[in-house]
């Protein structure tokens, strides 16, 4: 058989190969599938709504809890700060009272003595009092200013040391 004949034969055989079979159930099957496709799916929709609601509730609860934690934290912090400040101020007051006692002892000596050393102590103490007044004014404006409080403490310590020096000097002179 030559090439042309073979090609013609293939075409001829192919033309008889249209496949047909009876399938009465196919159209109803397709129609049912289309009906299923068209039907709204309430369960899925309900699931979507429920999931969205659950997520919203979870987010709201989380937000409320976080806010509460922040508020609690702020409250605790404020309490702690206030307590700490009270402690510091109490310590300051006792420190000032102790220094006041030293001042009472050293005051008359400073007034009476005309020695250059005592005069310089007196001037130093006046400078320290001015610095203390300035710091206290600053602290009154902002009680939580730790820097001013540390500065005030160091000035008080310096004043305490100066008064002690005055008293020591006086004892030395009396000997």
Partner 1 sequence: MAIALTVQLPRVETFSVSDLDLARRCADGDPAAFESIYHAHAERMKSIAYHHLGNVADAEDAVQESFLKIHRAASTYTGEAAFSTWLYRILVNTCYDAMRRRRRRPQEAPIDDMITLTRAASNVDDAKRLMLARLLRELPEQRRTVFVLFEIEGFSHAEIAAIAGISEANSKWILFSTKKQLQEKWKHEH
CB 40, min distance to partner 1, A: 13
- Structure-token match 């310089």, residue found: 120
Copy the structure tokens of residue 2: 């030559």
Q: Of 39 and 172, which CB lies nearer to partner 1 in the complex structure?
A: 39
For residue 144, the 8-state DSSP code is T
Angle at 46 between CA 41 and CA 52, to 5 degrees: 130
* Count of positions (residues) in the chain: 175
Q: Within 13 A of 80's CA, how many CA atoms are on the CB side?
A: 6
Closest distance of CB 60 from partner 1, Å: 38
Contact at 8 Å (CB) between 66 and 130?
Answer: no
Taking the least distance from each CB to partner 1, the nearer of 19 and 97 is 19
Helix (H, G, I), strand (E, B) or coil at 92: helix
Smallest distance, partner 1 to C-beta of residue 72, A: 56
In this chain, which stretch among 2-10, 63-71, 86-94, 143-151 interacts with partner 1, using CB under 8 A? 2-10
Other beta carbons less than 10 A from residue 62's beta carbon: 10
Determine if 126 is a binding residue for partner 1 (CB under 8 A).
no
The smaller minimum CB distance to partner 1, of residues 4 and 116, is found at 4
* 3-state SS, residue 142: coil
CB of 9 to partner 1, least distance (A): 8
Binding mask 8-47 for partner 1 (x = CB under 8 A): -xxx-xxxxxxxxx-x--xx-xxx-xx--xx---------
Residue 18 in tokens: 């249209």
Site size for partner 1 (CB under 8 A): 26
Kindly list the residues in this chain that would bind partner 1 in the complex (CB under 8 A): 1, 3, 6-7, 9-11, 13-21, 23, 26-27, 29-31, 33-34, 37-38
């Amino acid at each position: 058989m030559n090439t042309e004949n073979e090609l013609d034969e293939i075409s001829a055989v192919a033309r008889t190969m249209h496949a047909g079979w009876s399938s009465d159930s196919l159209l109803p099957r397709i129609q049912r599938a289309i009906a299923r496709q068209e039907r709204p799916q309430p369960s899925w929709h309900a699931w979507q709504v429920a999931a969205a609601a659950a997520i919203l509730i979870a987010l709201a609860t989380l937000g409320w809890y976080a806010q509460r934690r922040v508020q609690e934290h702020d409250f605790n912090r404020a309490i702690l700060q206030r307590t700490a400040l009270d402690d510091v101020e109490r310590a300051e007051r006792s420190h000032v009272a102790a220094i006041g006692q030293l001042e009472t002892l050293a005051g008359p000596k400073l007034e009476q003595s005309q020695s250059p050393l005592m005069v310089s102590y007196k001037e130093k103490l006046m400078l320290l009092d001015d610095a203390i007044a300035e710091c206290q004014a600053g602290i009154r404006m902002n009680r939580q200013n730790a820097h001013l409080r540390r500065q005030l403490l160091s000035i008080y310590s310096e004043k305490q040391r100066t008064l002690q020096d005055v008293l020591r000097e006086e004892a030395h002179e009396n000997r």
